[in-house]
Amino acid sequence: MHTYNHEAIARYITGEMSGAELQAFEATLQQDISLQESVAQYREVLDTLQYKLEPDEKQQALSQTLRAMNEEYFRDNKVKVMPMRHYWKYISGIAAAAIVFFIIWLQPWQQDLYKEYGQIQMVAAAERGTDTDTLLQEAAVLFNRGDLVGAQKYLREATAQAPENQLTAFYYAVTLIATHDLTQARQLLTAIYNGSSVVKYDAAFFMALSYLKEKQYEDTRSWLEKIPAGTSRYAAAQELLKKI
């Protein structure tokens, strides 16, 4: 008997499972008949709800399905006796429908989590007349306006001129996450985390956010758990751990 819960099955069907977790699930699926049956039931519910419709249509389809279930099994407020196999199918269908509903509306919520916890202001360097400082001043103005794309070109150049400056590299990595260049962002953040910079745990936090953006929740949790108590990002990391 498989140990996957409703959420895991729904995530698999909707394509949100990836990496080692996906491989393990599919390996179990090939051998476990009960898991195959559960997946088949969930696919049936997804088809019924027409999961790929536009958002308003999704909600309407879900409401109609649940209403139909209610009318079929609770018409006239009378208890309807059902064979156990039908009862289990009904309960499974309701559970799947509820999970699908939350998945439909959870996706924008997860995006809001990234926006909520990804808010950060760039501290501008003091002007000393160097080219790098000028670049950082320009970058800071755009960064703090929320124009991370515009800030990125200045930070890219500043990082190239002073690769040892981990604070600059950190802000550059933040802009790379915003523009979905996650591979390069993670390379920079990993180097910062492995060093002794004052933004070591900021790097770990934004590494977690980079995985949150891709809905890779295990990696998100792993990086959040690297942030120790007493550091500036600890409270936010603990909050986010409870929300994913």
pLDDT-based confidence at residue 11 (cuts at 50, 70, 90): confident
pLDDT tens by residue, 159-194: 999 999 999 999 999 999 999 999 999 999 999 999
Average pLDDT over residues 14-19: 85
Tokens at residue 228, please? Answer: 């120790």
Q: What is the pLDDT of residue 209?
A: 96
**Residues whose CB is less than 8 angstroms from the CB of residue 3 and which lie 6 or more positions away in sequence, other chains included:** none
Q: How far apart are CA 27 and CA 37, in angstroms?
A: 15
The DSSP symbol for 127 reads P
The reply to whether 13 falls in a domain is yes
Q: How far apart are CA 99 and CA 11, in angstroms?
A: 9
The reply to whether 113 falls in a domain is no
pLDDT-based confidence at residue 210 (cuts at 50, 70, 90): very high
Neighbours of 161 (CB within 10 A): 14
- Kindly tell me if the per-residue pLDDT of 236 is higher than 80: yes
* Residue 20 Cα to chain centre, angstroms: 17
User: Are residue 125 and residue 92 in the same domain, yes or no?
Assistant: no
Q: How far apart are CA 90 and CA 225, in angstroms?
A: 39
Q: What is the pLDDT of residue 69?
A: 56
User: Are residue 126 and residue 210 in the same domain, yes or no?
Assistant: yes
User: Are residue 100 and residue 127 in the same domain, yes or no?
Assistant: no
User: Are residue 133 and residue 239 in the same domain, yes or no?
Assistant: yes
pLDDT tens by residue, 102-140: 444 444 445 578 888 988 999 865 545 556 788 999 999
The reply to whether 48 falls in a domain is yes
pLDDT tens by residue, 30-85: 888 878 887 887 777 666 554 444 444 555 555 565 566 555 544 554 444 445 44
The reply to whether 1 falls in a domain is no
Is the distance from CB of 128 to CB of 154 less than 8 angstroms? no
The total domain count for the chain is 2
Last residue of a domain, one of 81, 107, 133: 107
CA angle 197/203/207 to nearest 5° reads: 155
User: Are residue 124 and residue 222 in the same domain, yes or no?
Assistant: yes
Q: How far apart are CA 220 and CA 243, in angstroms?
A: 11
Among the listed residues 116, 137, 113, 117, the one whose alpha carbon sits nearest the alpha carbon of residue 125: 137
Burial 28-55 (b: 16+ CB within 10 A, else e): ebeebeebeebbebbeebbebbebeeee
pLDDT-based confidence at residue 156 (cuts at 50, 70, 90): very high
User: Are residue 43 and residue 100 in the same domain, yes or no?
Assistant: yes
- Kindly tell me if the per-residue pLDDT of 197 is higher than 80: yes
